[in-house]
Structure 1
């Protein structure tokens, strides 16, 4: 491994999808950039997702606006990074089982459209036409957003990393940050580097990194477990990602199985009880999956803010920028987050 340089205009801490996007956008703008990653690139939260990018986030048009900008960037990814993405359109659906959920959708629909999000309210019958596993009688209506795609998150990380290097950025893996001085000197086991600006994109560790710099970033790491079903008894066509608005249960096709998630056990809840809650929702909403075997696919920690909306900004007291709190939706917002960090850094 080559030695750390003595200084850099920007030191990005964290080499997931947000960090590599930041490194690319900064280097492409002519900023002397170094990225430090404690493990391997994309080895954290970026690797533990359902592999979907979407633009509709119920009740959150601000996130939708970043996601729309990001999806446009992914469609144009190859031109900027020379790394084409295999985007496969699946669509995204949120199932409403309570009248208030429908009212909430209608209250924010105009704002979603103004943000560029393509989403409409459809009937339970229309929803079951898009996903035949749905029990029409258990659903009142659904939100349907066709702009949702399967993508390999590591392809995004690798594409941004290669493009960042092509623009002169230096990326160091297996280089954890151990301390940050008041003058923005960043310490690692491989040496120290003086940063003109620090850019924190460390995912679940963002709060820990921020505290090293005496910056308060109210992050709460949250566990997420993805599950595979057994192979369903009847073959199914490829399904859109489908979310139950009330519980957060999400399912989508994954080869010959179903991939699903519903957070992780609550405090004091056993894993068996949590799996029982999932099984209950599956039996009600998707009767064909009633009683199907569930198996751990992968687990991971995600960075979460108190209101589940990402923090992207700069500390008022020092040159410390941050983008964190994406709660597993970093893939959906990475290009826009990198652009925002670049703009924050170069305007001064």
Structure 2
């Protein structure tokens, strides 16, 4: 069901720019709170930017207290997603398993697990033998320990976007796909209208949820949103009849190589520190030597399994790998939720609630002040997140 061909509303209390999971979550939470004239604008299809290219991981294992809180709250929302907003998302709480092979990483994760436990997350440090029992595919040579949280897992990004979109529309929000934002009009310290290729919408508030494209949206109103697009790719194995029903979302932390079960096989991925930033979405074989080396070291049995290409997507990366969430000083009616650096999908439920409360002038369940874009004006404001996948 789509209302994208209906005339573009002339006015809206809130205009959301971006129809990925963050924008859809914000639209749903605003509409649920009684904001009756929410308009979301997406230049292509819902979720077609980064969301539906995500690996689908959901977790609360982070090194930063804010990220732990956003992850844990979102994880709880994912477990209730079938009732609110009402959509099956194929959630598999198979756990997240971080494999650690340096003394420094073990010490760092021990500190992080202690913080997670203080905040109610049931993560724990485990020995190499238990890691092997949880993930029989791994070769444990060189491993010193692992961190494991049984409540984490993965679900289907497309279904999450669909659930929020249907819920938002059911509550009166207008979601317009195939609509490109060209510019914004301002007067004094306020945004007054969003200009699109289908006309302009007079806006009471504008919220940027444009992911990797957010810097350009911020530039339209003179707000610096330091978000850089970086390509990430995934592959799939052929069906593996012997594969265990339960496969943790497993990350070899030293190399960033990760895998989780997808259908009858595995989804595989890893970061590329040499990847040139940009909007290139062409699938490339350049990463295969690094992926092959990581597989040979950590999961050598997968070298005998056939592989098929997956897709390329974009991370929306900030200088400290933490999100940008807040209200601009000027224009004062411009809010943003972007720059999640690979964590946007898993934090989307909580972020929708936070942005709803910022709009309504209420205190969110967690103080997101430290995630304001102005933090980059001083090195002291940076909040480096070390649990990068």
Q: TM-score, normalised by structure 2?
A: 0.84
Contact 1:283 1:291 in 2 (8 A): no
For residues 121 and 312 of structure 2, the distance between their equivalents in structure 1, rounded to whole angstroms, comes to 30
Give 1:44 shift: 1.4
For residues 11 and 221 of structure 2, the distance between their equivalents in structure 1, rounded to whole angstroms, comes to 17
Match of 2:298 in 1: 285
- 1:165 lines up with 2:139 in the alignment: no
Give SS of 1:198's match.
Answer: strand
Give 1:19 shift: 0.4
Give 1:80 shift: 2.7
Q: Any stretches of 5+ residues in structure 2 without a counterpart?
A: 277-283, 363-389
Give 1:231 shift: 4.7
Cα deviation per residue 1:238-288 (whole Å; 9 max; x = unaligned)? 3111001112111112223221111247247xx656311211111111121
Alignment of 1:53-64 (within 5 A): 53-57=58-62, 59-64=63-68
Contact 2:231 2:275 in 1 (8 A): no
Match of 1:219 in 2: 227
- 1:4 lines up with 2:17 in the alignment: no
Contact 1:201 1:323 in 2 (8 A): yes
Give SS of 1:138's match.
Answer: coil
Give 1:98 shift: 0.4
Cα deviation per residue 1:190-224 (whole Å; 9 max; x = unaligned)? 10011111111111111111111111000011111
Give SS of 1:78's match.
Answer: coil
Contact 1:225 1:264 in 2 (8 A): no
Give SS of 2:82's match.
Answer: helix
Contact 1:200 1:206 in 2 (8 A): yes
Alignment of 1:87-98 (within 5 A): 87-98=91-102
Give SS of 1:77's match.
Answer: coil
Match of 2:26 in 1: 22
Alignment of 1:42-121 (within 5 A): 42-57=47-62, 59-121=63-125
Cα deviation per residue 1:127-157 (whole Å; 9 max; x = unaligned)? 0000001112231110011112331111111
Q: 1:82 to 1:267 in 2, by over 3 A?
A: closer
Give 1:293 shift: 4.7
For residues 188 and 273 of structure 1, the distance between their equivalents in structure 2, rounded to whole angstroms, comes to 37
For residues 303 and 110 of structure 1, the distance between their equivalents in structure 2, rounded to whole angstroms, comes to 29
- 1:252 lines up with 2:260 in the alignment: yes
Give SS of 2:44's match.
Answer: coil
* Matched residues, number: 345
Of 305, 309, 312 in structure 2, the residue corresponding to residue 299 of structure 1 is: 312
Match of 1:313 in 2: 326
Which segment drifts farther, 160-169 or 93-102? 160-169
Q: TM-score, normalised by structure 1?
A: 0.94
Match of 1:263 in 2: 271
Match of 1:275 in 2: 288
Match of 2:280 in 1: none
